[in-house]
Structure 1
Amino acid sequence: MFKLEERVSSLGVKVHGPSYPHRLNFYDTPPLYDVTIEDFESAALNRLRILAEIESCAARDRKWDETKNHITAQCEKYLPLKASSAKDVDKEGQRRTDQLGHFVLRLAFCRSEELRRRFVKAETTLFRIRYESEDSTERRSFLGSREFNWVAVDDAEKKLNAAELLTYYVKPDLFEKESYYKVRWTRVPDLVDQRRVFLKGGWAYVPSREQSSIVYKEFETHLEKDLMVTARYMPRLDEDTRLKGVLDNLSQGFLAGVSEWSATPTDPNAPSIKAEMIDELAVKHFPMCMRNSHQKLRADHRLNHFGRLEYGLFLKVLGLSVEEAIVFWRKSFDRITDDTFNKMYKYNIRHSYGLEGKRANYPAHSCQQILTSSGDPGCPFRHFSVDNLRSALVSTYGLSSGDVNEVMKTVKDNHFHVACTRVYEITHASGGVKRGEGVGGGESVTHPNQYAAASMALAKEREEKAEAMVIG
């Protein structure tokens, strides 16, 4: 573990670590090779995207098959891990990246009991998805490569306990072909709780069809112990200023996932918006954070510095040109003179568009940045009081009491981006958005511009269908 920490450098990759015979991995051996800071962070971010989406699926009460299919698709996109039989694929490279990302996230999430708990739960779910999807031959090969300390039940013991074992088996005609393994009952608490195993003398008799429960629990226990060991050595790592910022940022990943949304304008041919359109767009398409900023601006005719920066960058990425931005902000600050506006605000507007100062093309803030801000203006789901948030959900979106209670439950569990995603689904149900679809492909909201773009695209699609029906 700590060779990784001590050997991270900017010299490139010199791989001389272990080989990876299986996709399934208990991550016993840390990566013992040099990596660039970029690879260090990239491997972790791609894995964090998957883990955050797993947690999001759980918070949204998605069924197991839905979660499994969604996460499998996300893994293909961000964390591919092909079978040993796959041809023309760098399997070693994929497995090396998988292992590196896991160990980097161990460093980020070992820091508190709460982070460790959430990391273990998400990682165990990812392992289960991979285990269930694995080819039976490769699965047996993996199981045979480890010592799980289970005791095979021989035919004599099986016959001796046949009457009791049959009470836990739904297909008596297959009993003769079933194999059993004995483990201490504390290793399969889920099976004991659901009364799916026979208990005798402190042993649980686990049929082969339930063997996976032993494996999952072993993975979970193994990871919990390793995280505690990692936590004891964290002070040494904090001395490395190159990594501390990266790990601090990663540890916030469960708050709002990892956004892949392009936070800077990328398509010069994309339709632009005008200053006079923003009032209507805010009501129809803005997420709660940006709609709150717009409402404060309209009510007070001002926003503080961070509010102007956050909202201004959002509008920029949405398609508001610098010329239109100046028009919008000038009309919004209608209680000051032109001279005061030009002196105090015009330069900053141009600066945010990369036309002044160091001329950087500043990106819009992601949900994670907004959630971890001071809270002014911040994310309503995190920074509003319970009463204010309830009131805002009703007054802003007209949510029913049942919908409000559902959203508030996710807020109480600190799944703020899930709450925002659920609001999107509820308010766009008339446009065909169903529970669990999120902003497209089942994905959760991770960026305000992602929310707005999905809403605007849905409205455009409905308009085009309506026009086609009229023409037809």
Structure 2
Amino acid sequence: MFRPSTRHNLPSSSSNPALEVKLNKRQSGIGAGGPSARWPYRLNFYEHPPTLDITLEEFETFAIARLRILSHIESLSHRSLPYAQIASGITTYTKTHLPLSSNTARNVNLDEERRRDEIGHWVLRLAFCRSPDLRARFVRTETALFKNRFETDDIHERAAFLRSLEFDWQIVDESEKATYATELRSCMSWGTKDDQFKAESWFKVPWYTVPDLVGGRRVFIRAGMAYVPQSLQISLVLQAFASRLEKALELTAKNLPRLDEDERLGPVIDHLASSFLSGLGASDYQPAEGSGSTSAVTAEMVDDVARKHFPPCMKNLYERLKRDHHLKHFGRLQLGLFLKGLGLPLDEAIVFWRRMYGATMSDDKFNKEYKYNIRHSYGQEGKRANYPPKSCQQILTSNQPGTQDSHGCPFRHFSPENLTTFLLSSYPQLDRGGAEMREILDSVKTAHYHVACTRVFEITHSVKKGEGLGNAESVSHPNKWSDRSREMEKEVLEGIKRKEDGDEMMVDA
């Protein structure tokens, strides 16, 4: 917790170029339930930077929560899914990781939800204003999030929000509407009956403000003005949101070098940017205290679990260990922490590694050179830190492998030829010349490694495309892959057992 005098100026897009955030005690006066006085609407254009009291923990956790949402949206957008499935995936995921309720919701702390949402957005502006690529990706994903909220918002609250923005759209009067009735009707693909045409209201805006509608030939254009029907109003709103956010990010980038940032904030902002560049938000995987997040695994079980439930990165390490009876330091660390998260206790880990090194290594050498590191990774030596398994983002961005190393991510660090050979040998469900393999390699070419890995999971586990690990969640952690794979196997076995028990009961009857 910081002292009350600690203050930090963060750039904004308002007339005042600084967003002041005091890192001290939590803001008081936030009640549970009822409409929010500070944030009257669920929707937000984030035009006015807040001056709020927050802790450093909130600074980071609120941004990570939003980053997780934006990364999930970007993952969905690269998986060639129908829009309805993408929208459903965004809605489900946001309800879990960043809920934002309408004013009609009951027993919900609206102030707290909207405070969390706004702080997360403004912190991420600092991280993603630094390059044109980051700005473009941030605008794209934030616009998709806003669109999802706009479409799922309460209709009356949404209308009130739009009125508060006071857009300078010109309303088409009845005489002008009658003059261009034929042209306007041709734009109404949803119906051209007289009652539908009469009920529809129209706006005039410069044609360049609705490029998506112009490109799709969905609007009538005359004298540089596009005639937009009320039913396509969302295009106007999204264009306004995206253009304003883009300009705000450019202004933030100009002011960023002048910041007198607290040295504790710099690493947080850098980490957020690197997480987004790797295509992944911070993983929310938390192994259970002790042996792991699922049922315990013994040294004897590892080979069977590896054959059925290891993700590509860990299967590669395990096969190399079986073949060479050795792994270099970062390979041992990556696989060892994964096995720890999988549920392999310390005593079984020592048995496993000793067995894998084989008879070519003496017990004395193993105890002197390797046993200590195993105990250290379990928090039993050194500073006794309980090291967690490495996430996909850590594997992709840290300790890059050399030519003689075997750690890392196969989708990023293998050549296309080696990756294809490895996947075909490791996962028989894949076909070299099939459309699914081409889809995986196309994702790799565009650096969407998590999308490729998620697609492999779907194919090898007979999961519908777009479902991922469940609820359209992409792979963001090797242990999440294995945990979900083992859960699915358990569900199948329990189903078989229930069927057998039911058959026995019918025989007895």
Fold shared, TM-score > 0.5 on shorter chain: yes
What letter corresponds to residue 171 of structure 1 in structure 2? T
What pairs up with 1:26-41 in 2 under 5 angstroms? 26-41=45-60
Structure 2 counterpart of 1:347: 372
Q: Which residue of 2 aligns with 1:409?
A: 442
TM-score (structure 2 length as normaliser): 0.88
Answer yes or no: is 1:50 the counterpart of 2:63: no
Structure 1 contact 80–94 (Cα < 8 Å) conserved: yes
The answer as to 2:160 corresponding to 1:149 is: no
| CA drift at 1:303 | 0.9
1:369 aligns with 2:388: no
Output one character per residue of 1:137-191: Cα deviation in whole Å (capped at 9) or x when no partner.
1111111111322100111111111121122123232112211100000000111
Corresponding residue pairs, total: 469
Task: For 2:143 and 2:299, locate their aligned partners in 1 and report how far apart those are by CA, in whole Å.
Answer: 49
The one-letter code sitting in structure 2 at the alignment partner of 1:234 is L
Q: C-alpha root-mean-square deviation of aligned residues, in Å?
A: 2.0
Compare 389-398 and 24-33 and name the one that shifted more: 389-398
Distance 2:364 2:234 in 1: 72
Structure with the bigger percentage of helix: 1
What amino acid sits opposite 1:245 in the alignment? Answer: P
Q: Give the secondary-structure state (helix, strand or coil) at the position aligned to 2:47.
A: coil
Q: Closer, same or farther in 2 for the Cα pair 1:120/1:265, shift >3 Å?
A: same
* Equivalent residue in structure 2 for 1:440, among 452, 456, 470: 470
Q: How has the CA–CA distance of structure 1 residues 89 and 247 changed in structure 2, closer, same or farther, with 3 Å as cutoff?
A: same
Q: Deviations over 1:54-106 (max 9, x none)?
A: 11111112222222222112222121111122233221221111111001111
The answer as to 2:283 corresponding to 1:259 is yes
Q: Are 1:129 and 2:148 an aligned pair?
A: yes
Alignment-mate amino acid for residue 41 of structure 1: E
Q: Does 1:242 align with 2:255?
A: no
Post-superposition CA distance 1:406-448 (Å, at most 9, x none): 111111222111111110000011xxx2211111222111111
Q: 1:36 to 1:113 in 2, by over 3 A?
A: same
Q: Secondary structure at the match of 1:205?
A: strand
How far residue 467 of structure 1 moved from its aligned partner, in angstroms, is 3.0
Does the CA-based 8 Å contact 1:184-1:203 persist in structure 2?
Answer: yes
Q: Decide which of 15, 25, 32 is 1:12's aligned counterpart.
A: 25
Give the TM-score, by structure 1 length.
0.95
Alignment of 1:209-220 (within 5 A): 209-220=231-242
3-state SS in 2 of match to 1:145: helix
1:35-67, Cα deviation, whole Å (9 max, x unpaired):
111001111111111111111111112222222
C-alpha distance in structure 1 between counterparts of 2:99 and 2:56, whole Å: 21
- Paired position in structure 2 for 1:177: 199
Deviations 1:303-356 (A, max 9, x none): 111111111011011111111111111111222211111100111111111111
Does the CA-based 8 Å contact 1:407-1:422 persist in structure 2? Answer: yes
Letter aligned with residue 220 of structure 1? A
1:2 aligns with 2:10: yes
In structure 2, C-alpha distance between the alignment counterparts of 1:462 and 1:229, rounded to whole Å = 54
| SS across alignment from 2:165 | coil
Q: Is structure 2 residue 419 aligned with structure 1 residue 397?
A: no
Select between 61-70 and 339-348 the one with higher mean Cα deviation: 61-70
Compute the displacement of 1:289 (Å). Answer: 0.5
Q: What amino acid is the match of 1:349?
A: I
| Correspondence for 1:89 among 84, 108, 112 | 108
* Aligned AA (1:244): G
Once the 2 structures are TM-superposed, how far is the Cα of residue 373 of structure 1 from its aligned partner? Answer: 1.9
Inter-partner Cα distance in structure 2 for 1:263 and 1:384:
28
Structure 1's unaligned 5+ residue stretches are none
Cα pair 2:68 2:280 within 8 Å, conserved? no
Q: CA–CA distance in 2 between the matches of 1:223 and 1:248?
A: 21
**1:183–1:15 Cα change, 3 Å:** farther
Deviating more after overlay: 133-142 vs 64-73? 64-73
Larger deviation, residues 392-401 vs 140-149:
392-401
Q: Which residue of 2 aligns with 1:107?
A: 126
Going from structure 1 to structure 2, the CA distance change for 1:238 and 1:282 (only over 3 Å counts) comes to: farther
Question: CA separation in 1, counterparts of 2:458 and 2:309?
Answer: 12
Q: Which moved more, 1:361-370 or 1:393-402?
A: 393-402
Q: Which amino acid aligns with 1:140?
A: A
Match of 2:342 among 294, 318, 329: 318
Q: Residue 291 of structure 1: which of 315, 320, 334 is its match?
A: 315
**What letter corresponds to residue 313 of structure 2 in structure 1?**
C
Amino acid at match of 1:109: F
Contact (CA 8 Å) 2:64, 2:281: kept in 1 or not? Answer: no
1:306 is aligned, of 319, 330, 348, to 330
Q: What letter corresponds to residue 222 of structure 1 in structure 2?
A: R
Q: Does the 8 Å contact 2:128/2:138 carry over to 1?
A: yes
Alignment partner of 1:171: what SS?
coil
Aligned to 1:380: 410
Unaligned regions of 5+ residues in structure 2, if any? 1-8, 13-17, 31-36, 402-406, 504-509
- Residue 241 of structure 1 aligns to a residue in which SS? coil
Q: Distance in 2 between matches of 1:421 and 1:238?
A: 41
Deviation per CA, 1:163-221: give whole Å up to 9, x if none: 21122123232112211100000000111111110010100000111111100000000
CA distance in 2, matches of 1:127, 1:465: 41
On the 8 A contact 2:293/2:342 being kept in 1, the answer is: no
Q: Which residue of 2 aligns with 1:450?
A: 480
AA at the equivalent of 2:438: N
Counterpart pick for 1:359 among 381, 384, 391: 384
